Amino acid sequence: MKCVLILYLSRDGHTARIARALCGSIAAAGGRAEMMDLVEAEREGVDWARYDLRVLGAPVLYGTYDKRLFDFVAKHKAELDARPNAFFNVSVVARIPAKATVEGNRYMQKFLQLSPWQPRDLKVIAGKVNYPVWAWYERLMIQLIMKYTDGPTDPSTVIDYTDWDDVAAYGRHLLTLA
């Protein structure tokens, strides 16, 4: 049975939810998957030899990735590259079909430019707008971005743009890479 490790960063829990859905899809397709937060992986270490496929996922916040993502990638590039691997990003801008592709998503392109690791498989996943849980300054920043991109700006808005069927299909796809 192929074993997949899904490493992720999550700020408000949405990327973690996507990682859980990927694990469920992989298990339903006959594989085994484990997920681990990047902070936990850094503190406790990873038994890389246990995994046939290494997947890394991260959200895009205010147009950037968390610095810890690039620190982790730089430190563990050899381990990530030693076996089949993949990277997915999560961004609200991917709610727009043209920006939901690897080629059309400037944040994925930015990752590829800044990262010393060049994943073998890439995926863009639409995220979630959740104004009520964000601090006032975060809400304001996202509202400005949404105004610019014709998205929702009402501060009570909660919209999950994630296509969960596509996430499940991506989980099955990941299993084929292992």
Domain range enclosing 75: 3-127+164-177
pLDDT of res. 85: 98
Residues 92 and 118 in one domain: yes
Residues 138 and 112 in one domain: no
Q: Domain total for the chain?
A: 2
Q: Is the pLDDT of residue 3 over 90?
A: yes
- Model confidence at 40, pLDDT cuts 50, 70, 90, reads very high
pLDDT tens per residue across span 44-101: 999 999 999 999 999 998 889 999 999 999 999 999 999 999 999 999 999 999 999 9
pLDDT tens per residue across span 98-153: 999 999 999 999 999 999 999 999 999 999 999 999 999 989 988 998 898 889 99
Residues 90 and 11 in one domain: yes
Residues 85 and 136 in one domain: no
Residues 109 and 52 in one domain: yes
Residues 43 and 57 in one domain: yes
Residues 72 and 138 in one domain: no
Helix H, strand E, coil C: the string for the chain is CCEEEEEECCCCCHHHHHHHHHHHHHHHCCCEEEEEEHHHHHHHCCCHHHCCEEEEEEECECCECCHHHHHHHHHHHHHHHCCCEEEEEEEHHHHCHHHCCCCCCHHHHHHHHHCCCCCCEEEEEECEEEHHHCCHHHHHHHHHHHHHCCCCCCCCCEEECCCHHHHHHHHHHHHHHC
Residues 107 and 65 in one domain: yes
